């Protein structure tokens, strides 16, 4: 089996592609891969670390407003299609898989025009512009949220698979998570994540909430600030309190996030689709603070899906403060029945078999 993967810009597009590759390799040991991504995207550094051959094309996204830059984008797209066709003819894949980001546009479109079976995966509750365009050409559209199937009414086939990243995280060892945090197995952990790069609003809430955490001594709080916000967050907390409370850790980044998630009792985070798939695969209750700075406000719509199902509480940024965040955490952690109900709802939304479902579809397409 020869597989081309494409997805880029953010980890939310790249990690699902890598999860599919991992599942393919497990089920088809002779599988060969080629990843086609953008020159400047995160994929250009992440993918080679996974020992997957990588080729780059020059592509950019459309601006929402009329702009001369969009003319350049059309030219880059056409060049990207030409380059992609050349790479596809050389590699001769059995299937091409796109997991989002504008780099998928020319790659998957080129595959469709060459008659190569193709799949796109939509992570978000609201489909992006690229996937809406590609859905008219691909063999199969896979979706993370069942309700988003209706957005692809013109597609040949739509399947509800969940997000393949869920498969990777579902298999994580929680005891390794406790050990990496220096905590006894079975500790109650509240994980507050500002994102890999950090989020100012969440980090400000972390700082404001720090004086309250010592009132819940039986709970271990872990703040993950992002590298950019680590020093100012740590300095602000220690400046006010003198030292960190005994039940609080402040970390710049977590390199073994699946294992740390596996030992987490409650998480506070943004509402990116891949991250939500990860926490649902483990049945973790969540307090979601969707980013307002994303296309089509898709993070709030992702978050509302979990809220509607009873798996999460949603706090929008204008209402976010140290007090409102702590009150929500306290309400959940001091109410075992509420916590249990949220956990069960989260687990019902989880699709740990997601990567396997996509690989099954690949097998069907290439028979």
| C-beta separation of 140 from 157 below 8 A | yes
- Looking at the structure, tell me whether residues 195 and 322 fall in a common domain: yes
Q: Are residues 178 and 99 in the same domain?
A: no
Query: Does 113 share its domain with 7?
Result: yes
CATH number at residue 109: 3.40.50.2000
What pLDDT is recorded for position 135? 95
Q: Are residues 184 and 142 in the same domain?
A: no
Q: Is 228 annotated as a binding residue?
A: no
* 319 exposure class (CB count in 10 Å sphere: 0-12, 13-18, 19+): exposed
- Using the Cα atoms of residue 334, residue 319, residue 345 and residue 185 in order, give the sign of their dihedral: negative
Q: Which residues of the chain have pLDDT under 50?
A: none
Residues 261 and 299 in one domain: yes
Residue 40: HSE in the Cβ half-sphere, 13 Å Cα cutoff:
5
- Cα 230 to Cα 199, 263, 360, distances in angstroms: 11, 22, 42
pLDDT, residue 64, reads: 54
User: Are 145 and 190 found together in one domain?
Assistant: no
**Would you tell me the crossing angle of helices 322-333 and 200-213 to the nearest 10 degrees?**
60
157 and 216 fall within a common domain: no
pLDDT tens sequence across 128-180:
888 999 999 999 999 998 888 999 988 999 999 999 999 989 989 999 999 99
Q: Please check whether residues 211 and 268 belong to one and the same domain.
A: yes
pLDDT at res. 214: 94
Q: 97 and 53: one domain?
A: yes
Q: Rounded to the nearest 10 degrees, how much is the dihedral formed by the CA atoms of 152, 156, 160, 166?
A: -100
Taking the C-alpha atoms of 307, 310, 313 and 314 in order, what is their torsion angle to the nearest 10 degrees? 0
- Say if residue 11 carries a ligand binding annotation: yes
Are 147 and 255 contained in the same domain?
no
Which pLDDT score is estimated for 62?
Answer: 54
**Residue 187, annotated as binding a ligand:** no
The encoded tokens of residue 156 equal 């040949």
Domain count, the chain: 2
Closest C-alpha among 122, 161, 124, 162 to residue 138: 122
pTM: 0.83
Answer yes or no: is 321 a known binding residue: no
Domain range for 68 is 2-163+352-366
Instruction: Specify whether 120 is located in the same domain as 238.
Output: no
Confidence (pLDDT) at 70: 59
Statement to judge: residues 205 and 112 lie in one domain: no
Q: What is the pLDDT of residue 246?
A: 95
CB-CB contact of 118 with 142 (8 Å): no
202: helix, strand or coil: helix
């Amino acid at each position: 089996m020869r597989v081309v993967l494409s997805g880029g810009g953010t980890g939310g597009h790249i990690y699902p592609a890598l999860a599919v590759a991992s599942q393919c390799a497990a089920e088809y040991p002779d599988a060969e891969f080629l990843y086609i991504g953008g020159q400047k995207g995160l994929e250009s550094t992440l993918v080679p670390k996974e020992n997957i051959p990588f080729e780059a094309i020059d592509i950019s996204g459309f601006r929402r407003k009329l702009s001369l830059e969009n003319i350049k984008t059309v030219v880059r797209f056409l060049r990207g299609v030409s380059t992609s066709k050349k790479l596809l003819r050389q590699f001769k894949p059995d299937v091409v898989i796109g997991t989002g980001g504008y780099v998928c546009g020319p790659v998957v479109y080129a595959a469709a025009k060459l008659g190569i079976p193709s799949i796109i995966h939509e992570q978000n509750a609201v489909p992006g512009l690229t996937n809406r365009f590609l859905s008219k050409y691909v063999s199969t559209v896979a979706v993370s949220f069942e309700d988003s199937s209706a957005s692809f009414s013109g597609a040949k086939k739509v399947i509800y698979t969940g997000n393949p990243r869920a498969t990777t995280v579902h298999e994580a060892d929680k005891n390794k998570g406790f050990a990496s945090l220096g905590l006894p197995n079975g500790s109650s952990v509240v994980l507050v994540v500002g994102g890999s790069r950090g989020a100012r609003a969440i980090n400000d809430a972390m700082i404001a909430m720090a004086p309250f955490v010592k009132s819940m001594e039986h709970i271990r709080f872990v703040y993950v600030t992002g590298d950019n916000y680590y020093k100012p967050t740590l300095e602000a907390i220690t400046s006010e309190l003198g030292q960190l409370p005994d039940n609080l850790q402040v970390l710049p980044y977590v390199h073994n996030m699946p294992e740390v998630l596996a030992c987490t009792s409650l998480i506070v985070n943004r509402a990116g689709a891949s991250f939500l798939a990860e926490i649902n695969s483990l049945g973790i209750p969540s307090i979601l603070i969707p980013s307002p700075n994303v296309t089509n406000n898709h993070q709030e719509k992702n978050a509302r899906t979990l809220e509607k199902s009873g798996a999460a509480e949603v706090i929008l940024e204008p209402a976010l403060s140290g007090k409102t965040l702590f009150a929500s955490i306290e309400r959940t952690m001091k109410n075992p029945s509420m916590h249990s109900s949220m956990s069960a709802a989260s687990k019902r939304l989880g699709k740990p078999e997601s990567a396997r479902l996509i690989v099954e579809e690949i097998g069907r397409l290439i028979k």
